[in-house]
Amino acid sequence: MSGSLTTVPGATSGLVRFRQQYGWVVGMGLVLLVMLFVRYLQVPNFGGFELRSLTAGTLTLALLAMAQGVVVISGGINLAVGALMVLANCVSAYFMDGQSLVVCLLIAAGTVVATALVSAAMGWVVAVSGMPDIVVTLALHFVFVGIALLVLGGPGGGTSPEFAQLITGGFTNPWPALLTLAGIYCLIWLPFSRSRAGIAVYAVGSDRQSAFLAGVAVRRTRIRAYLLSGVFTGFAGVATTALLGSGNPEESIALGALLGSVAAVVLGGVALSGGVGRLLGPVLAAFVLTLIPAILLSMGVNSNVAVLLEGAIIIVVVMLGGLLEIRRRSE
């Protein structure tokens, strides 16, 4: 018989599938363990205070990384995530000022719901208008900062001390912040990522046209991604209120939060092209990004040089991730 024969690819082993799906997350976890050990060696009496500073100080960034990550996985990017977090912080701090723990919890829940609805509306504008995410979300970045300034003209507001301890813990108790983050991840993201809606988010991020031909509601899926992003952003705003005990509408905070979320997403192995990545990676990367400046400063590195080195590390990791992705697709 003449002609060429089609070679059927062999079955992929479980180890190869695990490496492809979780290899980057495992690697980021190992990097975090090494950095924690280095930090432990730097601090003479490393203990509860240092761990609490790390967990509470990283809580907001980790939640924002999740908020950014779910949109990036869906094939977009949310440049308004930092500003929306600032708005949630200012609104919650405004209404929580002088209130009891129970009232603060109700306000926190209302803030998360409102933020989710606002983010879903933003996703609806992106999906229906056909405009690029970067245009719509950048414009809304300034809108959200402006509204935050109307709510609080400057730093102000407050919250219940009991609410702050419940979310971020006392000075030497790292567990509340860690449990808050783990609870949000396990109770919200894990069930969603394994549901049909979560699988649709990955499908749309990988190839919108193919997902549409496969029967996936592309617009609805993108709106859901923004809705879930708003949930994480609302929690980030409330966590900021608990950590600082006040609200602050400064745009520099929103911009710094935005850049930090993108850096954590990239460092955590979520492909900016969409459809690839696990949110656990950005969460671990958020802790790494928090530790990098502290370690460098303890080594006597100038703060300006420390920022430069942090950027260089991110660039190297992104290049490594790109090379690994090329190799994975060629296998």
**What does 74-128 look like in DSSP terms, one character per residue?**
TT---TTHHHHHHHHHHHHHHHHTT--HHHHHHHHHHHHHHHHHHHHHHHHHHHH
Residue 47 is classified by DSSP as S
pLDDT at 161 over 70: yes
More confident residue, 289 or 326: 289
Question: In whole angstroms, what is the distance from residue 139 CA to residue 121 CA?
Answer: 14
Residue 4 is classified by DSSP as P
Q: Give counts: helices (H), strands (E), the chain.
A: 14, 0
Three-state secondary structure string covering 227-265:
HHHHHHHHHHHHHHHHHHCCECCCHHHHHHHHHHHHHHH
Query: Residue 22: its pLDDT value, please?
Result: 78
pLDDT at 292 over 80: yes
Query: Residue 7: its pLDDT value, please?
Result: 54
**What is the average per-residue pLDDT within 69-78?**
96
| 26 falls within a domain | no
| 1 falls within a domain | no
| 31 falls within a domain | no
Q: What is the chain's length?
A: 331
Residue 185 is classified by DSSP as I
pTM of structure = 0.92
Lowest-confidence segment of 7-16, 64-73, 312-321 by average pLDDT: 7-16
Residue whose C-alpha is closest to residue 246's, from 148, 145, 176, 177: 148
How many domains would you assign to the chain?
Answer: 1
Q: How many Cβ atoms sit within 10 Å of the Cβ of residue 156? A: 15
| 12 falls within a domain | no
Task: Quote the mean pLDDT of the chain.
Answer: 91
| 261 falls within a domain | yes
| 262 falls within a domain | yes
Question: In whole angstroms, what is the distance from residue 301 CA to residue 321 CA?
Answer: 27
Residues in contact with 73: Cβ distance below 8 Å, sequence separation at least 6, in sequence order: 201, 202, 205, 225, 270, 274, 275, 276, 277
Query: Residue 1: its pLDDT value, please?
Result: 46
| 30 falls within a domain | no
Q: Checking phi first, is residue 274 left (phi over 0); if not, alpha (psi -120 to 50) or beta?
A: left
| Structural domain boundaries, residue 299 | 57-330
pLDDT at 121 over 70: yes
| 179 falls within a domain | yes
